[in-house]
Amino acid sequence: MTFDELGLSQKVLAAVQTSGYTAPTPIQAQAIPPALQGRDILGIAQTGTGKTAAFTLPMLSRLESGRARARVPRTLILEPTRELAAQVEESFAKYGKNHRLNVALLIGGVSFGDQEAKIMRGVDVLIATPGRLLDFFDRGKLLLTGIEILVIDEADRMLDMGFIPDIERVCKLVPFTRQTLFFSATMPPEITRLTEAFLHNPIRCEVSRAATTATTIRQALVASRGHADKRETLRNLIRDAENFKNAIIFCNRKRDVAILHRSLVKHGFSAGALHGDMDQLARMASLDAFKNGDVSLIVCSDVAARGLDIPDVSHVLNFDVPTHSEDYVHRIGRTGRAGRSGVALTIVTEDDMKYIDQIQSLIGKAIDWEGPGFDALPPPMETIRPQERRGGRAERGPRRERGRRPEAEREAPIRRPAAEREAPVSMGRPRGGRPKPEQEGFRSPSPACAAAPAAERRERRPRRHDDDGPPVVGLGDHVPSFLLRPVALRSAKVGEE
């Protein structure tokens, strides 16, 4: 099939030709003709399938007749994240270059004033995240009564992010007669209910099972002994990777994104970060730096990276195994796009194995292991006591009883090779910085320290503990022996002298 057969306008076809696309992707071939006829669409497709153009191209064709009025947008596209919204705006700029349409972005983190001014001028295409859209609506800055086409993109992600009540509200605010184009990678029951309530006799277009992973991606699992060793495992993966150009690194938690990012930079890697707590300008700057090649690594959370279309990513590195197996599919889909080859490596500890089993059953195949298995790995960092790692004496005093290792083991302390000790990233601290009671020689930061400003805490952190975790306070793990010596108290009799 060719684009000419889909019924798109000449202006749109000319823009598609300039993009260099030779044939429509399956979702485009299925969705564009009925969308041009004004039918509702239920598209079950992942990012990377060409679904943005599947709704952008027919919208552009249909918008050629009619004009926008102040405060009354003609079409509305809802996206779960700011990055996706910005990406859709880019698509309109690319495919709509032969049109004179006003496109506005309503996303958090950008000044209200500029956005309001755009809406006042009249908007043909409004691309928004649900929260900011309803904020504008509730302030009376916007009317939704002129919406001719409503696009709900990444609906399952909206569900994960708790946006479904907002989506339902928007669906009730737009005219009943509008056309709805609805896209989701998966169809959990809540999403099915939503489509039953708000789509009118939709054409269902399903391009592939959400659980399938592209055959262009080489996937592998890499064993890591414990949480404390994962950063070192990651650094080795990056250093040893073949055909490495750049990598998206995924963490499960926003906090860990920041920690890992700092750690990589400290170890001399050129890295950026992307997570939901960063302000919009910082997010865009990070993303641009990665896209332009100014940094070759970007550490991300799932929400921030969902659906990002960065065409040429050579590696996806899962620093954490995703706890929702569908996230695995989305993460690794950031590489191997548009027929290119890609590599997706996942760092796995023994605790993660239950999630690996779930992922393998979702994708319907076993993922190969790369490098030594758990049994062949060097001992975990957290079994090595801090005193031993520093080459110091075994700790004395009352605290040494806790988690003490057997006598024989203490006689021959486990040491890591010097090269490994050079980068004492974890120093036996558990991931996330919270000491575990069974770990010897750790102290929580005092509440006062925990509450201290970040800069101050950085100051106090000993330099050789070159990674993130609670700063050592007071004497740290070392208690000078004179403090442990019994104090002889002479009893003084009253009246003596």
What span, in angstroms and rounded, lies between the C-alpha atoms of 439 and 385?
Answer: 8
The footprint of ligand AMP on this chain (CB under 6 A) covers a number of residues equal to: 14
Q: Is 25 in the site for ligand AMP (CB under 6 A)?
A: yes
Closer residue to ligand AMP in complex, CB, 68/84:
84
Nearer to ligand AMP, 13 or 265 (CB): 13
CA-only gyration radius of the chain, Å: 28
Establish if 52 lies at the interface with ligand AMP (CB under 6 A): yes
CA distances from 5 to 2, 30, 55, 413 (A): 6, 12, 16, 73
Spatial contact of 39 and 179, defined as CB atoms under 8 Å apart: yes
From candidates 24, 380, 386, 428, binder to ligand AMP by CB under 6 A:
24
Instruction: Select 57 or 345, whichever has its Cβ closest to ligand AMP.
Output: 57
Note whether 380 binds ligand AMP by CB under 6 A.
Answer: no
At 237 the three-state DSSP class reads helix
C-alpha torsion 408→413→414→420, nearest 10: 180
Phi-psi region of 227 (alpha: psi -120 to 50; beta: other; left: phi over 0): alpha
Nearer to ligand AMP, 217 or 348 (CB): 217
Cβ proximity of 146 and 74 under 8 Å: yes
Phi, then psi, of 209 in degrees rounded to 5 = -60, 135
Q: Is 378 helix (H, G, I), strand (E, B) or coil?
A: coil
Contact mark string toward ligand AMP, 408..447, x via CB under 6 A: ----------------------------------------
Query: Residue 340 or residue 410: which is nearer to ligand AMP going by CB?
Result: 340
Give residues 283-312 in contact with ligand AMP (rule: CB under 6 A).
309, 311
Nearest residue to 384 via CA among 349, 426, 421, 415: 415
Rounded distance between C-alpha atoms, residue 73 and residue 332, angstroms: 36
Alpha-carbon torsion, ordered 11, 17, 23, 28, to 10 deg: -40
Site string for ligand AMP, 446-485 (x = CB under 6 A): ----------------------------------------
The C-alpha torsion from 166 through 159 and 161 to 280, rounded to 10°, is: -70
Q: Is 53 in the site for ligand AMP (CB under 6 A)?
A: yes
Minimum Å gap between C-beta 84 and ligand AMP is 9
Residue number, nearest CB to ligand AMP: 52
Nearer to ligand AMP, 85 or 264 (CB): 85
Q: Which stretch binds ligand AMP (CB under 6 A): 17-25, 228-236, 272-280, 367-375?
A: 17-25
Distance of CA 38 to the CA centre of its chain: 35
Alpha carbon distance 59, 148 (integer Å) = 10
Q: Is 21 in the site for ligand AMP (CB under 6 A)?
A: yes
CB of 337 to ligand AMP, least distance (A): 6
Q: Does 48 bind ligand AMP (CB under 6 A)?
A: yes
Structure tokens given for 339: 């027929």
> Does residue number 51 form part of the binding site for ligand AMP (CB under 6 A)?
yes
Nearer to ligand AMP, 183 or 198 (CB): 183
3-state percent breakdown (helix, strand, coil) of the chain, nearest 5 = 40, 15, 45
338 binds ligand AMP (CB under 6 A): yes
Nearer to ligand AMP, 48 or 342 (CB): 48
C-beta closer to ligand AMP: residue 25 or 115: 25
Binding site for ligand AMP (CB under 6 A): 21, 24-25, 28, 47-53, 309, 311, 338
